[in-house]
Structures are given as C-alpha cells and as structure tokens.
C-alpha cells in the first residue's frame, strides 16, 4: 500500500511538472505571437506620425509630459485589464501610441541622406539583440532573478539622465544615455525572457508588455546612436 501511495504521488508530481512545462511553453508562444502583432500598430503609429508631422511640435518639456503621461496611463490600464478580454486591445492601443511618440525621432533620422539605411540598421540590430537574448534565455540554467534589482537601478539612472538631458540638450549626454539604454534594456530582455522560460511570468500580456518595452528602448537607443553619426551630405 505504501509503494502504491508513493507511485501515485510520483505520477501526480510528474503530471504537475508536465503541465507546468506546457504552461510555460504556452505563455512563451502566446507572448511571441502577441509581440509580433504589437509591432504592427507601432509601425502604423510611426508612419502616421512621420506622414502627418503630428508629433513634430512635441519637443522639450511638452513632449516629455505627453510621453510619460500617455505611457504610464496605458501601462496602468494594461495592468488592470491583463486578465480580461480588453487586455489585448489596450496593449495594442499602447503600442500605437508608442509608435506615434517614436515618429519624431524617426522623422529626424529620415532627414539624413542615409536616413532609411540608418532606420533599417537599427531594426536589424534590435532583431539581432532579441535573437541573441532569446537564445541565451533558453540555454542559461542559472537563476537570473537577482539581476532584476540591479537592472531596475540602471533603468532608473538612465530615466533620470534622459529627463535631465531633455533640458540640457547635450550631444555627449545623448551618446552616453543611448549607449546605457541599449546595454540596460538588452539585459532586461534576457531577464524578462528567462522569467517566462522559468515560469516566473504566467500572464502573456504582462510578458508581452515587458518585452515590447525592452525592444522599443533598444531600437530607440540604436536609432539615436546612429542618428548622431548620420550624414546630411
């Protein structure tokens, strides 16, 4: 009887492990699909912003207020709706808004003679970073949860530095901040992917939001860096 009990307990534990693994794969798969889908409103928003120039006047403090107000408002709404049917539409509306906010930088870079090449290079570089981090997340066995607090501090430093530089307007400051953004959010991408792989994140909408912000910031950092070296000749 004892052997039977132990056998049943083992089978239950095994089933639980299989279900957990299946859940992780489902969350990762749904996250990838939603992440790919979320890029479409971003492209649409960026195209609309460049074509109409609707964000051209959002410079300095005004642009910062609109961006922060809109971004944090949407993120709050996503958190509140992530377990409901409204979660995906709210997330997609957020990515459209982020595309609009990005259009000002894209329009600036497209003003260079090699602007189109710079935008494509930034896109390719972002895709490359994602591929590397996704590959690392699938093979690294070490728990990376302790990395989170250090990345949060790094993101906070970058955030404060970026706000200060909006008013200072330093080219060197932009160079440093853009480099830090790429480094911090590339590592954040690895951290967020590893959380999904390890089962630490079970909501695919929250997972998509985290990865989208990582991709957005890496792309923006790369584009800003490339833009600093762009040519008007």
Q: What is the pLDDT of residues 48-78, one digit of tens each?
A: 999 998 887 777 677 788 888 999 999 999 9
Q: What is the pLDDT of residue 233?
A: 52
In this predicted model, what pLDDT tens digit does every residue of 123-160 receive, in sequence order?
999 999 999 999 999 898 888 888 888 999 999 999 89
Residue 9 has pLDDT above 50, yes or no: no
What residue spans define the domains of the chain? 2-228
> Which percentage of the chain shows pLDDT scores above 70?
90
Residues 75-107: tens digit of each pLDDT = 999 999 999 999 999 999 999 999 999 999 999
Residue 28 near residue 196, CB atoms below 8 Å:
yes
Mean pLDDT of 181-185: 94
Residues 25-47: tens digit of each pLDDT? 889 999 999 999 999 999 999 99
Contact 226, 109 (CB under 8 A): yes
Q: Which two tokens stand for residue 96?
A: 């459209």
Determine the longest span between alpha carbons in the chain, in angstroms: 85
Gap between the Cα atoms of 6 and 206, Å rounded = 38
Long-range contacts formed by 208-214: CB under 8 A, 24+ apart: 208/31, 208/34, 208/35, 208/38, 208/91, 209/75, 209/78, 209/91, 209/94, 211/31, 211/35, 212/35, 212/38, 212/91, 212/95, 212/98, 213/185, 213/188, 214/185, 214/186, 214/188, 214/189
Residue 97 has which token pair?
């808004």
The more confidently predicted of residues 48 and 5 is 48
Provide the pLDDT for residue 230.
Answer: 65
Q: Name the region of 230 (left: φ>0; alpha: ψ -120 to 50; beta: rest).
A: beta
Among 154, 144, 140, which Cα is nearest to 214's?
Answer: 154
Angle value at C-alpha 97, between 191 and 218, nearest 5 degrees: 35
Quote the pTM value.
0.86
Give CA–CA dist 162/92, Å, rounded: 26
Contacts for 136 with CB less than 8 Å, ≥ 6 apart: 190
Q: Is the pLDDT of residue 109 over 80?
A: yes
């Amino acid at each position: 009887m004892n052997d039977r009990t132990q056998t049943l307990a083992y089978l239950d534990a095994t089933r639980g492990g299989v279900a957990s693994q299946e859940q992780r794969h489902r969350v990762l798969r749904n996250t990838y699909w939603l992440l790919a889908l979320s890029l479409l409103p971003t492209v649409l928003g960026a195209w609309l912003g460049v074509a109409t120039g609707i964000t051209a006047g959002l410079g300095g403090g005004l642009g910062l207020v609109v961006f922060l107000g809109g971004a944090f408002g949407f993120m709050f709404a996503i958190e509140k709706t992530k377990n409901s049917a409204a979660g995906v539409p709210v997330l997609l509306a957020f990515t459209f808004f982020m595309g609009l906010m990005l259009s000002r930088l894209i329009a600036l870079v497209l003003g260079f003679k090699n602007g189109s090449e710079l935008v494509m290079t930034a896109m390719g570089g972002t895709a490359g970073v994602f591929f590397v981090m996704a590959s690392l997340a699938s093979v690294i066995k070490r728990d990376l949860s302790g990395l989170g607090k250090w990345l949060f501090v790094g993101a906070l430093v970058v955030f404060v530095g970026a706000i200060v530089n909006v008013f200072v307007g330093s080219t060197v400051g932009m160079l440093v901040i853009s480099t830090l953004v790429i480094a911090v959010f590339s590592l954040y991408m690895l951290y967020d992917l590893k959380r999904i792989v390890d089962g630490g994140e079970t909501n695919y909408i929250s997972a998509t939001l985290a990865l989208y912000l990582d991709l957005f910031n890496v792309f923006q950092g790369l584009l800003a860096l490339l833009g600093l070296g762009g040519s008007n000749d």
